[in-house]
Amino acid sequence: MQRPAHSPFRDGFAALWHEPVLFAAELAWRWCFGLAAWGLAIISLALFLDSLKISASDEILFGTLQPYLQLGVVRHIFHGSLFRFLGEQTVLLLGLTLLWAFAATAGRAATLRRLVAMFSADEEPRTMSWQFAPIFVLNLLRAMWTQISLMAVTISFVVGILMAQQQRAPLAALWLGFGIGLSWTFGIVLNWFLGLAPLFCIRNSAGAAEALTQSVDFSSRQAGRLFGLGIAFGVLRLVWAGSMFLVLFAPFRLAQHVGRGWSALLMAIVALVYFAGADFLCLARLGAYVALAEDDAHLQIHEQDLAEPPSLTDGTTAIAPA
């Protein structure tokens, strides 16, 4: 029997309304990683700046407030430390990539297990494993591919600017238009499939490669409904971002009454509210995908039942008349 149609968009929000702890868990792993990343970045930058040596003559020249002399002082201070700085930031980036993969694996596995259990229509609860290893591989690939695509976009932009400065307009247009567009498109598409694949790791106990294949097949079958969900949640995200952007600058009007420190604190609170709302919409969209995946599975079962010929009571297969 075919499952009645549901609205995945509504089901995604209903799941969070029914289980508020899912939103708390999402905020926990996302914000803990964010605080750790910012802390490590600030400590790394502080240690690098502390290792720089500034002589008395550098302080005197820098105090002249002459731009040419100050530029020479900055070059002298940072001379020979560029490669060390790049090496430190490379190590920091690799560490943050691994940290994000671990945090995202733990958080996503926990939320997906609960969402899949909530939307499952099976009479008997299915046994679901945590699938840490395949989800970690997918998250690691997702992070690495995002970095590669951003690097490709940056290289295309720099090369395009250089070509433009050399009065080579066709090559500049090729790098700035085709290069950036192609890198951005491939980055978004593969990031989409890698982000959706953990759902099938939890739901179908699939490995990383199999889950990625299932996410591609699912997206091809439900392309229209997925596109509609993307538009709906994209509009909500834009409305939320626009509203918070207007509220973010409201404390400026209070600066003359409450002081700059309090205005900065209010702006920080508004920014945190925006991030919390963005995480809420992200989790609601994930719930909508889980609901849509359940509908898709029941639709496949129904189509298979229709494709199979009916069986007689003695086990033989009935043959339809010509």
pLDDT at 130: 81
Is the model's pLDDT at 66 over the cut of 70?
Answer: no
Contacts of 207-213 with C-beta under 8 Å, sequence gap 24+, read 207/134, 208/133, 208/134, 208/135, 208/137, 208/138, 208/141, 211/134, 211/138, 212/138
The whole model's pTM is what? 0.83
Domain ranges across the chain: 129-220
Q: Are 117 and 91 in contact (CB under 8 A)?
A: no
Q: What is the mean pLDDT of residues 225-234?
A: 93
pLDDT of 288 strictly over 90 = yes
Confidence of residue 309 (pLDDT cuts 50, 70, 90): low
Q: CA dist 215 to 3, 114, 194, 219, 258, Å?
A: 21, 19, 8, 6, 52
Phi, psi of 4 (to 5 degrees): -65, 150
For residue 1, name the pLDDT band (cuts at 50, 70, 90): very low
pLDDT in tens, 84-117: 888 888 899 999 999 999 999 999 999 999 999 8
**pLDDT value at 3 more than 50:** no
